[in-house]
Amino acid sequence: MRAWDIQTAEQCGILERCKAFEKELLQIKDIVPDKSDDGIPFDLSGFLSNIFQVIINPQYDIRADRDDYWEARRQLKESVIALAEKYDLYPSGDRIEDQGAYFYFVFHCGQIWRGQHG
């Protein structure tokens, strides 16, 4: 997580939950740490306006010359969504954007996240 993300998470009382989610995200096959912070970029700015969404931008390493290119991409997205649900985060309905070497996910937060927001 970037310094700004950590500060926002601390302010909103969700830092430990975010760090645990990030740690498990980094265990998903083909996800690699972002070079800028050795983690996963989060966007938690909505929490500052009581918009309970967690946005993540995990970097992946799935080269186009892989025989399982399309399957690997599909599996990575499914794995991220399944893990998010374990953390009481649910797909927002926004399209999962492919930003080159990153996917862009938007999740709505369940009650656990809202209850921690202080």
The residue ranges of every structural domain in the chain are 3-116
By the 8 A CB rule, do 52 and 8 touch? Answer: no
Q: Name the burial class of residue 47, with classes exposed (0-12), middle (13-18) and buried (19+) by CB atoms within 10 angstroms of its CB.
A: buried
**Which of 50, 19, 39 shows the shortest CA–CA distance to 118?**
50
The string of pLDDT tens digits covering residues 71-97 is: 999 999 999 999 999 999 999 999 999
Question: What is the mean pLDDT for each group of 10 consecutive residues in the chain (118 residues)?
Answer: 91 94 97 90 93 96 95 97 97 92 96 72
Main-chain dihedrals φ then ψ at residue 111, nearest 5 degrees: -60, -30
Structure tokens at 103: 């996917």
How much is the pLDDT for 117? 53
| pTM (two decimals) | 0.92
